[in-house]
């Protein structure tokens, strides 16, 4: 009878050990799949960000040249139309360009709204909801 007790205890210990091992393996597999998805989206996001970066640099270079020429033209028009001194005309030109820059900045802020890693965030949200339902059912 004494020989049966340790065998039964060791079987229970093995099943708990196997259960824990399976649980850890499942968690590691989940994280592995999540990292794979993040890697795939990271490559896509990297290409997307590289294209956006190139477009922003090109746009800023052209914008700087156009702003310089537009500023000179506005300065010329103000001097010509209002017969102001150069200093006052330059001040009004600076105010006009500052307001235009602020409007452009606000426009850029609201136009660039594409989220990065949408699939990863969707999967994480699904997992969070699943965990909430599981923890509620356990309680």
According to the model, what pLDDT value does residue 1 have? Answer: 45
C-alpha count within 13 angstroms, C-beta hemisphere, residue 19: 6
- Mean pLDDT by groups of 10 residues along the chain of 139 residues: 48 71 89 86 83 91 88 90 90 89 87 76 87 74
d(CA 127, CA 135): 12
Could you tell me the residue range of the domain that residue 104 belongs to? Answer: 4-138
Torsion angle, CA of 119/121/126/130, rounded to 10 degrees?
A: 140
According to the model, what pLDDT value does residue 48 have? Answer: 83
According to the model, what pLDDT value does residue 77 have? Answer: 92
CA proximity to 41, closest of 114, 112, 130, 129: 114
Structure tokens that stand for 10 in this block: 């060791």
According to the model, what pLDDT value does residue 134 have? Answer: 76
Q: Give me the number of domains the chain comprises.
A: 1
**What is each CA distance from 24 to 2, 6, 11, 30, 129, in whole angstroms?**
34, 26, 20, 10, 21
d(CA 124, CA 126): 5
According to the model, what pLDDT value does residue 139 have? Answer: 59
Gyration radius (Cα) of the chain, Å: 32
According to the model, what pLDDT value does residue 61 have? Answer: 94
According to the model, what pLDDT value does residue 15 have? Answer: 80
According to the model, what pLDDT value does residue 81 have? Answer: 92
According to the model, what pLDDT value does residue 58 have? Answer: 93
């Amino acid at each position: 009878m004494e020989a049966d007790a340790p065998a039964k205890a060791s079987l229970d210990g093995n099943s708990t050990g196997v259960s824990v091992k399976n649980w850890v393996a499942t968690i590691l597999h989940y994280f592995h799949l999540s990292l794979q998805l993040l890697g795939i989206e990271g490559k896509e996001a990297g290409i997307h960000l590289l294209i956006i970066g190139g477009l922003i640099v090109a746009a800023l270079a052209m914008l700087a040249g156009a702003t310089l020429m537009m500023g000179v033209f506005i300065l010329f028009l103000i001097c010509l139309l209002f017969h102001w001194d150069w200093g006052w005309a330059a001040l009004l030109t600076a105010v006009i360009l500052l307001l235009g820059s602020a409007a452009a900045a606000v426009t850029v802020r609201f136009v660039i709204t594409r989220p990065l890693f949408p699939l990863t965030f969707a999967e994480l949200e699904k997992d969070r909801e699943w965990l909430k339902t599981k923890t509620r059912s356990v309680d």
